[in-house]
Amino acid sequence: MGRITIVGKNQAKVGYAFLFNKPSSICIKCKYYKPCMGGLEAGRVYIVKKVLNKVFECKLHFEEGNLVEVDEADIEANIDAKLAILEAIIDFHAIKCRNVSCENYFKCAPLGLRNGDKCKIVEVYEKVTCPLGAPLSFVRLHRLSFHSIQ
């Protein structure tokens, strides 16, 4: 079972993904704060896996909020091509690049992952043409916690 949280009714759809930054000051005073925010980690992307049949008042969403089950989302990213081996476990490190206008920039430094995160490569898509010549591959990564390394 994934983590439980509350999202706005417009976001309560299976497949909806969101970046959790940090709890709003509105949330800290809410009676549902701990069950809603307690299982989420700042800077991670979550995806709604199941919409539960419970509705709560949610001041953050200015409306009712739906109880949902979420999992941390897999992240698509560019990595060093030498590491792009299906099912390999790697330490993720964002590609260091200052070319913010590059179409690949946000795949080289994706939201949801931090340098040093242990990740399993769950899909290898393709080699990436880097304007600066770096040998890169586009992959889908599943972040592992120390509880889930297999």
Q: What are the tens digits of pLDDT across the range 57-68?
A: 888 877 788 999
The whole-model pTM stands at 0.89
Amino acid at site 33: Y
* Contact status, residue 37 vs residue 46, Cβ threshold 8 Å: no
138 found inside a domain: yes
Q: Total domain count for the chain?
A: 2
Residues 82 and 138 reside in one and the same domain: yes
121 found inside a domain: yes
Question: What are 130's two structure tokens?
Answer: 């880097």
Question: What are 4's two structure tokens?
Answer: 């439980």
Band the pLDDT of 90: cuts 50, 70, 90.
very high
Choose the final residue of a domain: 49, 72, 95.
72
Residues 26 and 61 reside in one and the same domain: yes
Find, among 69, 135, 74, the residue nearest to 108 by Cα.
135
21 found inside a domain: yes
**Domain span holding position 98:** 75-143
Judge whether residue 145 has pLDDT over 90.
no
Average pLDDT, the chain: 92
More confident residue, 23 or 114: 114
149 found inside a domain: no
